[in-house]
Amino acid sequence: MCGISGFLEMSCRRGNDELKDSVLEMVNTLRHRGPDDGGAWTDADAGIALGHRRLSILDLSPEGHQPMRSVCGRYVISFNGEVYNFKALRDELEVLGYAFRGHSDTEVMLACISEWGILSAVRRFNGMFAFGLWDIFYYIWLKVFI
């Protein structure tokens, strides 16, 4: 079982290093849930931080490191749990032209979200899971138009 954490500061005045330190402090309290790896992703302009502690089960390689960014660059995810049907989803995505670096269900989740959108993708997932997902393009769009 992995551990995830994160936060959003609407009026963030901290830099990436400060955000990273804060989210790593949070996620390191969950070290017992994910002793194999840990990581953080931050965007100080948006005031967002995602953290992860990893228990490597499906993909033991560095390609399963989280938080993970989608190949298209739009999404960042910190994920805990398992998508049982990720191999079938991966096969479906490969037919559509997707290539994968590793063998994790996290990478497949990101590709599904990129291809079908968040709601349609989640409806296709069979499993038990929780995740934090940041849509970088949506934030940029909001920033431009608000």
The size of the chain, in residues, is 146
Burial class of 61 by CB neighbour count within 10 A (0 to 12, 13 to 18, 19+): exposed
Residue with tokens 């931080």: 49
Which residues, at least 6 apart from 27, have a Cβ–Cβ distance to it below 8 Å?
Answer: 3, 4, 5, 38, 40, 51, 52, 53
3-state class of 102 per DSSP? coil
Task: Of 22, 13, 30, give the one whose Cα is nearest residue 49.
Answer: 22
Q: Which of 2, 12, 72, 112 is catalytic?
A: 2
2 belongs to the catalytic site: yes
Largest CA distance in the chain: 45
Active-site positions read 2
